[in-house]
Structure 1
Amino acid sequence: MFIRTTALAALLAALLVPSATAATPADSSTERAAQPRTTLTFTVDDCEGCELQLTSALGTYAEADAGRVDIWNSRTRTVEDGSVTFTVPTKRTWGMSVAIRAPWEGHTGYRTTLAWRYNGELQGDEVTLEEAVTKTKASACWEGVRSREVTMPIVVEKVRVRGVRKMVDGSIAFVPTTQSWLRPMREVWDGVLGSQDVNICR
């Protein structure tokens, strides 16, 4: 009896001791450090104090309908000396939208959003303010990059828009050189793209 009890105890002890080769959860900070990252700098004239926030939401129509889209947001950063820089996981540039809040904006009821492409434009086409204000559709979704460093010029200009209760100062924001983009193309008013919710890119 003693031998059987001792053998059983030894077996239980062997089962309870963790194996040296057992997998352990990866440290989240190690995972973050291992991800490829992109330093993304936006340059913009006459927009000191403008606040930018990046969002990445990439999914299919089925995923969006089921509420399963992986949504990522950056911290808000402020334009200083004509530029603002973010360092983000490279994969988060895919399906990225850019929300902009200018110091002059009144109660618009939406967040001004960067237009990566307007209707009628192809990747690489130049866009002026005079052209932008004539547009009726735009994409808030960037196709993204694999580069480690990107400098992206953008245009942000004060315009009059219909606010919550009256006409107020608002902003139009777009890239002066049309970028690679993702659907959907959304309706805009005089070139102004505004968002009240996350832009889910497809």
Structure 2
Amino acid sequence: MNTSTTLGAKALATVALLAVTLAPTAVTGSAAGAASSERSAAPRTELTFTVDDCEGCELQLTSALGTLAEADAGEVDIWSSKTRTVRDGSVTFDVPTRRTWGMSVAVRAPWEGFTGYRTTVAWRYNGNRQGDPVTLEQAVTKKRASACWEGVRSREATVPLVVEKVRVEGVKKQVNGSIAFVPVTQSWLRPMREVWDGVLGSQDVNICH
């Protein structure tokens, strides 16, 4: 379904992030083996996203839990996946289960122009409760949304996504962009961010709490 909507790229709310990189301490012998065993024993989730009419779309996952004060102090633990491409209507990630908590999903569709932001999946729109269905016609009327998923504790999970082409206000002119959301409202975390005609865009890491 063709829908025309406009997003002001310059009006996007951004989250300031100060990341601190800690140099790892070298470990050898039994200590290294123990650390490796601990990592391999951590629960993992096979996370599959299904999406129609988005062949070649690229998805990247990011998990960041913390407060803005912790972000300013460089104390937020941030994890990102490699970018993976939708093939035959789905894409699967093998991720540490704990990284699903506070997860945001960035989408890059083949049709997108120079928007100045990364299209981000809306896990919940204002006015919706967990389990509520969401249609495209409803999504484009929304003004606020959460980019943050509460996550899962299961070893396998499948999440349907809706990704549709829309017209947005790019950096220099109107271009093709995307609206991305879940068709059934998911468990979510704060904050609720401003969106334009349902389009959620990110210029930085989404800090979830």
| Contact 2:68/2:207 (8 A) holds in 1 | no
Amino acid paired to 2:171: V
What is the aligned counterpart of 2:97 among 69, 90, 96? 90
Tell me what 1:4 maps to.
Answer: none
Tell me what 1:118 maps to.
Answer: 125
What is the aligned counterpart of 1:156 among 155, 163, 166? 163
Q: Which moved more, 1:31-40 or 1:132-141?
A: 31-40
Q: Number of residues paired by the alignment?
A: 181
Tell me what 1:138 maps to.
Answer: 145
Quick one: higher RCO (CA 8 Å, sep 6+), 1 or 2?
2
Tell me what 1:17 maps to.
Answer: none
Q: Which portions of structure 1, spanning 4 or more consecutive aligned residues, are displaced by more than 2 angstroms?
A: 23-32
- The whole-number CA distance in structure 2 between the counterparts of 1:84 and 1:187 is 28
Does residue 1:104 correspond to 2:111, yes or no?
A: yes
| TM-score normalized by the length of structure 2 | 0.84
Counterpart of 1:107 in 2: which secondary structure? coil
- The whole-number CA distance in structure 1 between the counterparts of 2:112 and 2:36 is 38
Does residue 1:35 correspond to 2:63, yes or no?
A: no
Task: Pick the structure with greater CA Rg.
Answer: 1
CA RMSD of aligned residues (A): 1.4
1:192 Cα deviation from its structure 2 partner: 0.2
Instruction: Give unpaired runs (5+ residues) of structure 2.
Output: 1-29
- The whole-number CA distance in structure 2 between the counterparts of 1:28 and 1:110 is 38
Instruction: Give unpaired runs (5+ residues) of structure 1.
Output: 1-22
Amino acid paired to 1:69: V
1:66 Cα deviation from its structure 2 partner: 1.2
Q: Alignment identity in percent?
A: 81
What is the aligned counterpart of 1:174 among 151, 171, 181? 181
